[in-house]
Structure 1
C-alpha cells in the first residue's frame, strides 16, 4: 500500500483556469469519442466534472486519478483531466477546477450520535478547540453576556481537561466569578458536571435534595450542593440534569440539526452510523431528520439504530423488530438495526476516571432473551462493551444463543472494546462480528494510564490484534459527549497514537498508516451498513460522496492532521459545503438571526425547579 497515495504518472501539472478552459473547449469538439479507461458506463453528459485534483480513490483499479465525472448523484467516470473531459463534458456540465487539492472519499463516522446532537446543537457552547482555562472562562463570559432571560450557558461534553495547558478544569470559584447570574452547566465527558450558583438555584438543589442512585452531589459543610456532580457509578445524574434544561421547539430543532450537519460536512463527513443514545426513542426522536429527508434537505447519509428505554429494554427491542424498516435500501436514511444498548444491565460505563464497573449478576438472564429475539428474527445489532471482562460475558451469552438458533447472517458490531484481549477478538471473529473503534483515549488516555498503567494503555484499543484476528473494524468518534466530533483528531490518533496531555500512548503495533486509517473512516463504515459496494470509494458506480481538503492529508506534518478541514464536500453529487474559493458553491447557511429567534422560544420554556431534579435519574442511565 506504500504507493496508494503516490502522485499519478504522466498527470497534469497545476494549471490555470484559462488552461482548463482550453481543455474543455477541445473536449467539446471531441465529445463523441469516449475513453474506456475513464468510464465504466456508456457515454452521457456529466452534471459536474471535478478537474485537476489529487484523488485518493481507495479503488484498487485506479487508486489515483486527477478528475471525476458525476451524473445523477453517482460517479460515472474517473481518470486524467483530459480523459474525463473528453468523455463526459457537455454544454450543461459544471466544471470545477480543484487546483491540485487532495480529494478523498467522504468520511463515514461508524459510531456517533449526530441525530441527538442536532436537536440541541445551537443551545450548546463548543470547547473542542479551547486550549486553556482562561480561554474557557472567557467563552463562558462572552456567551453569558448575550444570553436572554431563561437561557443557559451549557458545554455538553466533547472536550477534555487534558487539552488545556493547565491540565485541569476550571474551578467552581472561577466559573462563579466569570458568570455569577446566568445558569452555567459544563459537562466533562461522562465524568462530572460543574454548575455555577445560578444553575444550582435554577434547578432548586438544596441541602434537602437527596443524592440519586446514579451519581453523587458534592456538598459543603452545611450540606448545600456546591455545584459539582460526579458520575459514580454511572452517568444518570448527568443525564438527569441535562433533562431539566430548556429544549428547542420543532423549528429550532430543525435549524439546529441543519447547522450541526453542516458542521460535520465542513470536516468532510458525508455519512454517519447513529448509535442512538440516552433519551432517543424511535420514531419520535427522529421526526426532524425524517422531515429533512422527505424534503431532500439531508446533507448527511444516516444509518440509525433503535435504542431502548431503561426499564423497557425487551419491550422496546420487540417493538423495533416489528416496526423498524430493517430492510430499507434508502441511501440517505435507513435503519441499521438496534443498539448500542440492548439491555442496560450489560452497559459497562466507560469513565476511566473511575474504577471498572462490574456488570450485575442478572446481566446474562436479561441479555439472553434480548439476543435470542434478535437472532431468531435475523436483526442486525450493535452492543456497547468497553472492557474485556464485559465482552467475555456478552460473548458467552451470544455463543449459546447462536448454537441454539443457527442461520443468523447479519452484520453485528461490538462498540469500543478498548481492553479486548486476543482470545476475545478470536471469539468475535468466529461469530462474524466487527468492532467500531473510537478515539475516546485521546480524551481519557492519561486517566486510563494512571489507573491501569502505561503498559495497558499501549494496547488500548488493540487495533493491531483486531486486524491480525481478521475482525472487520471501522473508525468513529462516539461524539458529541464522550468525545469530540472531529474525524481529523481521530485520524491523528490512529496514525500517531498521541492523546491530549502530550503522551504517545497507543503502541506502535496498534497504530496504522494514513491510508489504513482513511480506509477505516470510509470503507469501514460502509461495510458496517452493508453498503461497501456503493460507498467508501471514488469509483464509477459509487455514490458521489467526497471531500476536497484544505491540506494534503498524506504529506502534512502528523501534528497538523487535526487542523485539516474540507474546502468542498459533496454528497450524492450535490455540493453541501464550500469554503475558501469554493464558498460561492455552498448552499445558503442557517443564519444567526434565524437561530436567535429559536433560542428565545427555548428560554421561554423554562426548566424544572422542584428541589429534586434527579427523582427519575434512573430512566436516563446511559453513557452514550
Structure 2
C-alpha cells in the first residue's frame, strides 16, 4: 500500500520494525544465521487494518454479553431467535439476552424484525432486548416486567414505550442514539458483565480480522474509559487505540471542554494508547443524529457555541472529528469552521468530518479548501433504503459519496461505526465499497461511485494512519515502519467480491509481535 501500490514477494522484520520489502531472493540475502523464516505459502500480506471510527471502547465492554445477527452469519429470523434461545439456556432463567444493532430485516428470508410475542413465547423466563440500529428496540414480557415499563417514569429521557389503541404496551420501545444507549446501559448494569475482560476479548476478535489499530470517536462518560485504561496499564492492549472525547453537557459545551481538557494536551500517551482531542459530539444542537434527509437547521445559539468550541480546539492544536450525517449539517458546520480558519490553519490539524452520507460536491469543495478530511463509515450499508425514502434513489445509490470526495482531492479514511450500526472488522465495509450492495441487496451503489479494491484498502491502511499523524510510522509495508501487518486466509485482490467479508487473518502482528495466530501458524502466538 505504498504510493505506487507496489506488490512484493517477501518482507523482513527486525524487532518492532520492517527492515526491508522486496523479492524472495533480496530478502533471503538479509537473513543471518539466527533469522527465523516463516513461509506463508503465497498468502496475501497487508498492512494492519485501521478502523478510524469505531465505538470499540463502549461496544467492546458488552461484546461478550451480546448476541450478534451479522449478515452472512444469521440469514433467517428463525435462526437468530434460536441463537437467543441457546444463549438464554446457557445463562439460565432470569438472565438478560440482547441483540444490540448491526442487523437489518432485509438480511432475513422473512424480511421482518421479531415481535414481542415471539420473544415472549421463545423466552418466557429471560428478559430479552433486540435493538434495531438506533431506531427502536423490541422487548418481551419478562423485560417489560424487569424494566417496569408499565410505569411511565422508568425509562431514560427520550425513550418511549409504545402502546396500542387500548393502552396496552406493545413491547416496542422507540428512541434515538443517546436514550437507547442509556437504556441498554441499564440492562448491562443488571448483567454483571466483566467489562475489562469483554473489552480484551473484543480486541482479540479484531486482531483475528487483521485489525491492528483503531480510533474511538466517543465512548461516553469518563468511567466508560476505565477498562481501556486498565488494560493499557497492565500492558494488555493487543492493538493501538486512539481515543477522542465528546461533550457530556448540553449547553455551554465550550466551558466543559476547556475545563475537561485543561490537563490533556493533544497526542498524550504512547504507541498503544493516545488521546487525540474532541470527537464527534462537540455541541449537542449541531448534531443531526441519524437524520436521513434534508431539513436540519441548527439555531444561531448552537452555531455560536460551536464557534467557541472549534476556536478552543484549534488554539490548543487538537485534531478534531465531528459528526454530520447529512449535507445540511455539514454545511452548517462548515459555516463555523470557515470562520475559525481565518485565524487558524485547519489543514495542519487534520480535522475530519464523519459520515456525511448525503454530501454534495460543493460541500466537499468547501472541505478541501479548509484542508479537512472525510472519515467515511458503513451506515448506508444498513440505511440505504431509508436514505432513498428521505431523499431519492439517486442519493441512496451514491451513498456514502466517497467518489465525490476523492474527485475533490480530499484525504478519505475509513471506519465502520461499529458496533451498533457498523460491523466490526472492516471486511464487510470493504466489500460494500467495492461491490456496492447494501444489506439484503435492496440497494446498490452506482458503478461510478464504487471503489477499486486498492482504493478501498487504502482508506483503512495508509489514509487511516494519516488521520492520526502516523503516516510515517505505519499504514504501509515499507522499510523503517512499524511491523503492523496481517496475513490473510484469502487473496483480497482476487477473491470474488461477495467473499471479501469472509476474509480473516491467520497471523496478525503489532510491533513485530504476534497478537493472533491460527492454523499452521498457531505456534507463533505470543512471539
TM value normalised by structure 2:
0.94
Matched length: 524
Q: CA deviation at 1:551?
A: 0.6
- Give the corresponding residue for 1:331: 271
- Give the corresponding residue for 1:341: 281
Q: 1:111 is matched with which residue: 53, 56, 66?
A: 53
CA contact (8 A) 1:110 1:521 kept: yes
Tell me whether 1:294 sits opposite 2:194 in the alignment. Answer: no
Moved more, 215-224 or 553-562: 215-224
Residues 50-61 of structure 1 aligned to structure 2 (within 5 Å): 58-60=1-3
SS in 1 for 2:30: helix
Distance 1:477 1:383 in 2: 15
Q: CA deviation at 1:321?
A: 3.3
With over 3 angstroms needed to count, the CA separation of the structure-2 counterparts of 1:428 and 1:157, relative to structure 1, is same
Tell me whether 1:401 sits opposite 2:340 in the alignment. Answer: yes
Distance 1:375 1:481 in 2: 31
Tell me whether 1:270 sits opposite 2:212 in the alignment. Answer: yes
Q: 1:419 is matched with which residue: 347, 358, 361?
A: 358
SS in 2 for 1:217: strand
Moved more, 574-583 or 264-273: 574-583
Residues 167-206 of structure 1 aligned to structure 2 (within 5 Å): 167-206=111-150
- Give the corresponding residue for 1:26: none
Q: CA deviation at 1:83?
A: 2.3
CA contact (8 A) 2:291 2:326 kept: no
Distance 2:325 2:193 in 1: 37
- Give the corresponding residue for 1:245: 187
Distance 2:300 2:91 in 1: 48
TM value normalised by structure 1:
0.80
CA contact (8 A) 1:104 1:547 kept: yes
- Give the corresponding residue for 2:64: 122
Q: CA deviation at 1:351?
A: 5.0
SS in 2 for 1:339: strand
| Deviation digits for residues 33-59 of structure 1 (CA, Å, limit 9, x no counterpart) | xxxxxxxxxxxxxxxxxxxxxxxxx12
SS in 2 for 1:430: helix
Q: 2:88 is matched with which residue: 116, 121, 144?
A: 144
- Give the corresponding residue for 1:88: 31
CA contact (8 A) 2:385 2:443 kept: no
Q: CA deviation at 1:305?
A: 0.5
- Give the corresponding residue for 1:63: 6
CA contact (8 A) 1:548 1:569 kept: yes
CA contact (8 A) 2:48 2:485 kept: yes
- Give the corresponding residue for 1:79: 22
| Deviation digits for residues 103-159 of structure 1 (CA, Å, limit 9, x no counterpart) | 111110111111112222111112113111101110111111112455310111122
Tell me whether 1:318 sits opposite 2:258 in the alignment. Answer: yes
Residues 211-230 of structure 1 aligned to structure 2 (within 5 Å): 214-230=158-174
With over 3 angstroms needed to count, the CA separation of the structure-2 counterparts of 1:181 and 1:407, relative to structure 1, is closer
What residue ranges of structure 1 are gaps of 5+ in the alignment?
A: 1-57, 589-624
Tell me whether 1:545 sits opposite 2:489 in the alignment. Answer: no
- Give the corresponding residue for 1:439: 378
Residues 10-29 of structure 1 aligned to structure 2 (within 5 Å): none
Tell me whether 1:156 sits opposite 2:91 in the alignment. Answer: no
- Give the corresponding residue for 2:301: 362
| Deviation digits for residues 307-336 of structure 1 (CA, Å, limit 9, x no counterpart) | 221336334311343222413362211112
With over 3 angstroms needed to count, the CA separation of the structure-2 counterparts of 1:576 and 1:408, relative to structure 1, is closer
Distance 1:257 1:201 in 2: 30
- Give the corresponding residue for 1:526: 465
| Deviation digits for residues 273-318 of structure 1 (CA, Å, limit 9, x no counterpart) | 11113x342xx33232223223332111111101221336334311
Distance 2:369 2:112 in 1: 43
Distance 1:408 1:64 in 2: 31
| Deviation digits for residues 510-534 of structure 1 (CA, Å, limit 9, x no counterpart) | 2110011111110111010011111
Distance 1:62 1:380 in 2: 28
